[in-house]
């Protein structure tokens, strides 16, 4: 596909131009979060979702995603190690009607990473690094919003724990990291969420990668049987053997 691929400064300029033209930052955040939520719903297919929210605008997108899921009847858990620091993110937090935990382990089979966005330029440390490590170790379907939280957007450089994601949703436009190693190898399927901005950048072809099909998460508890015939444990939940009841799964 050939579409504009932006640097951090180009993306910021595109967002400033939209705001100068009369679109508020809060409106852009709602477009991004609601658009991303549609992809999350498609992947989750009714299953519970944990959203990891950082203090900046990427975290604000996460609160919008969580509220959209909540309004659609999904079981939602939000984990946010710190309070929102930007005006738009604080507005998003105020509009989210569910509980927020400062320290918890993700409990749902789908986890959405909204800790840091395209503006990250320093090492990811402390509770944020711990959450990313937990995300990498957790047996779940992982979705990164805009870019994975440990990735520097312009260089693709890895600045902290980097899980392997199943899906990465670029907000508004593709970023440099979406075409750069080593980051892109961990992003899974790549999809773009339009937010109504004009980029003004020249189109560029993103590399086509194998294994980029959108894969739904494995089923969660419905009381059925695990029908995998392999002698290996169920790879979705690691809790059952062939032709035995899976405590967290159903017929697959």
154-210 pLDDT, tens digit per residue, is 999 999 999 999 999 999 999 999 999 989 999 999 999 999 998 765 555 565 544
Q: Where are the beta strands (DSSP E) in 184-229?
A: 189-193, 203-205
Separation between Cα atoms, residue 132 and residue 163, nearest integer Å: 7
Identify the structural domains of the chain with CATH numbers, from first to last: 2-205 (3.40.50.10260), 218-252 (no CATH)
Distance CA 145, CA 32 (A): 10
Q: Mind listing the pLDDT tens digit for each residue in 186-195?
A: 999 999 999 9
Q: Is 59 exposed, middle or buried (0-12, 13-18, 19+ CB in 10 A)?
A: buried
Task: Kindly state the helix (H) or strand (E) to which residue 114 belongs, with its residue range.
Answer: strand 110-114
Closest CA to 66 of 50, 43, 81: 50
| Cα–Cα distance measured from residue 81 to residue 30, given in angstroms and rounded to the nearest whole number | 22
pTM for the complete prediction?
A: 0.81
**Per-residue confidence (pLDDT) for residue 62, from 0 to 100:** 98
Cβ-proximal residues to 141 (8 Å cutoff; 6+ apart), any chain = 43, 44, 109, 110, 111, 166, 167, 215, 216, 217, 218
Name the residue with tokens 């709602």. Answer: 30
pLDDT for the residue 210 = 45
Residues 6+ apart with CB under 8 A from 234: 226, 228, 240, 241, 246, 249, 252
50 class by beta-carbon count within 10 Å (0-12 exposed, 13-18 middle, 19+ buried): buried
Q: Is 102 helix (H, G, I), strand (E, B) or coil?
A: coil
Position with higher pLDDT, 1 vs 53: 53
Residue of higher predicted confidence among 49 and 243? 49
Average pLDDT over residues 231-237: 35
Question: What is the token pair recorded at 98?
Answer: 């569910």
Please state whether beta strands 2-6 and 203-205 pair in parallel, antiparallel, or not at all (unpaired): antiparallel
pLDDT tens for residues 24-35?
A: 999 999 999 999
The confidence score (pLDDT) of residue 248 equals: 37
Helix (H) or strand (E) holding 131: helix 126-137
């Amino acid at each position: 596909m050939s579409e504009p691929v932006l640097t951090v400064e180009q993306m910021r300029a595109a967002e400033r131009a939209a705001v100068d033209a009369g679109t508020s930052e809060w409106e852009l955040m709602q477009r991004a979060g609601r658009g991303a939520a549609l992809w999350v719903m498609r992947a989750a297919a009714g299953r519970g979702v944990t959203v990891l929210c950082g203090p900046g605008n990427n975290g604000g997108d996460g609160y919008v995603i969580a509220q959209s899921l909540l309004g659609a009847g999904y079981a939602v858990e939000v984990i946010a190690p710190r309070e929102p620091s930007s005006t738009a993110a604080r507005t998003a937090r105020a509009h989210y009607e569910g509980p927020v935990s400062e320290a918890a382990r993700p409990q749902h089979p789908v986890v959405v990473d909204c800790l840091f966005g395209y503006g990250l330029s320093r090492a990811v440390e402390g509770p944020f690094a711990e959450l990313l490590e937990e995300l990498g170790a957790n047996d779940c379907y992982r979705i990164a919003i805009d870019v994975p939280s440990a990735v520097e957007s312009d260089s693709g450089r890895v600045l902290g724990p980097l899980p392997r994601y199943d899906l990465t949703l670029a907000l508004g436009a593709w970023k440099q990291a979406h075409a750069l190693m080593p980051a892109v190898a961990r992003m899974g399927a790549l999809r773009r969420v339009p937010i109504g901005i004009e980029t003004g950048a020249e189109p560029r072809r993103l590399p086509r990668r194998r294994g980029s099909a959108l894969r739904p998460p494995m089923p969660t508890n419905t009381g059925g049987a695990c029908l995998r015939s392999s002698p290996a444990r169920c790879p979705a939940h690691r809790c059952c053997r062939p032709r035995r009841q899976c405590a967290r799964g159903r017929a697959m």
